A = this chain, B = another copy of it.
Amino acid sequence: MTNRLLETLQGSLPKAGPPIWFMRQAGRYLPEYRALRSQHGTFLDLCFSPEAACEITLQPIRRFGFDAAIIFSDILVIPWGLGQDVSFAEGKGPVLPPLENETQLKMLKLAGMTKTLAPVYEAIALTKARLNAETALIGFAGSPWTLATYMLEGGSSRTFSQTLSWAYQRPDAFQALLDLLAEAVIEHLEFQIQAGAQAVQLFDSWAGAVPDPLFSQCVLNPAGRIVQTLNARHPAIPVIGFAKGAGVRLQQYGETGMQALGIDSMTPLPWAIRQAGGKVTQGNLDPFLLAAGGPLLDQAVDAILQQTHGKAHIFNLGHGILPHTPIAHVERVLQRVRNG
């Protein structure tokens, strides 16, 4: 029984076409998710209930037979594990009391994090035991820069003004935060691997908001530290780096040591493949096009299949699946990719 995702991540080409999974494939567009969600309290309660998180992780596998399951969790479990409050207001995204000074920053503690996050690792172990060998299990974490933006802005941001203000005006404290987060990400991914994750993805979701002179400090250096540490400790576990908006920095991002590169929807795929220099690529179907459907969706799927023909590529979206995505569109893409 082969595992097509892991085969591809090792650089070989599965005979039956590219492996396929979708970012945020376990989530709100699925009625079985919404049913289970309504029985639980907060979103974090759900993330920290191993049985529920396992069940949600398995839902899209049962329904669609994706080649990989990604553990149902959230990148903000790390700030939570470090001692910052995190909540999710329905339809409004995450809310955190923003870190306002260095005293608050120093109150974050790495020491107890993996104990607080133990339910995530339990969920991974449960899921691994229930998946068949054909389906890979992916663990993940947010990147230090991306986590820092939520922790300093107090949630999602359009301008990242607090984060950039820290970076420019309190550079030592900001660097200390990035360092702490890099250690936290390493530990969190390490525990996920020990619990059964067979590959891990680093979500550098806001890499595109980093001004050029800060890019090495905020994105490349932390990513390098994380991936090199993991590669040294777990040489068999591939790391997928997804620096959304990295644009012209994609090649440098890959050179930090990633085994595979996630490609967002804005990046021309043939260009990205050249920049990846032989690394595995993943992406870049537009989630809005998946939600829209129709002949343009078919054409885009065909274009990706054609552009990645003969390359080690993982079929995926350029960002997370949207809550209003019709299930029929997901089924159509799967069919097209598998019969392509």
Residues in chain A within 8 A of chain B (CB atoms): 156, 158, 160-161, 164-165, 168-169, 171, 208-213, 215, 245, 247-249, 265-269, 271, 284, 286, 288-289, 291-292, 294, 296-297, 300, 303, 318, 322
Contact = CB atoms under 8 A, between A and B. Distances in A.
Q: Which 10 A-B pairs have the closest CB atoms?
A: A247-B247, A168-B292, A164-B288, A211-B286, A211-B265, A212-B268, A169-B292, A168-B296, A168-B289, A248-B271
Contacts of A245: 208, 245, 247, 266
Contacts of A300: 213
Contacts of A268: 212, 215, 248-249
Nearest to A272: B248
B247 A212 contact: no
Nearest to A290: B168
6 contacts: A168-B296, A208-B245, A213-B300, A245-B266, A247-B266, A249-B268
B247 A267 contact: yes
Given A171-B296, A247-B248, A294-B168, A211 B269 contact: no
A236 B297 CA distance: 44
A161 B266 contact: no
Contacts of A158: 156, 158
A284 B245 CA distance: 17
A265 B289 CA distance: 29
Copies in the complex: 2
A161 B288 contact: yes
Contacts of A318: 211
Given A168-B289, A213-B289, A215-B268, 17 more contacts: A160-B288, A161-B322, A165-B288, A165-B292, A168-B297, A208-B245, A208-B266, A210-B266, A212-B265, A212-B266, A212-B267, A212-B268, A212-B269, A212-B286, A245-B266, A247-B266, A248-B248
* Among A208, A248, A267, A297, residue most surrounded by chain B Cβ atoms (within 10 Å): A248
A118 to B, nearest CB: 34
Nearest to A163: B288
Contacts of A213: 286, 289, 300, 303
Contacts of A161: 288, 322
A247 B215 CA distance: 14
Contacts of A165: 288, 291-292
Given A169-B294, A171-B296, A211 B247 contact: no
Nearest to A300: B213
A145 to B, nearest CB: 13
A158 B92 CA distance: 13
Contacts of A215: 266, 268
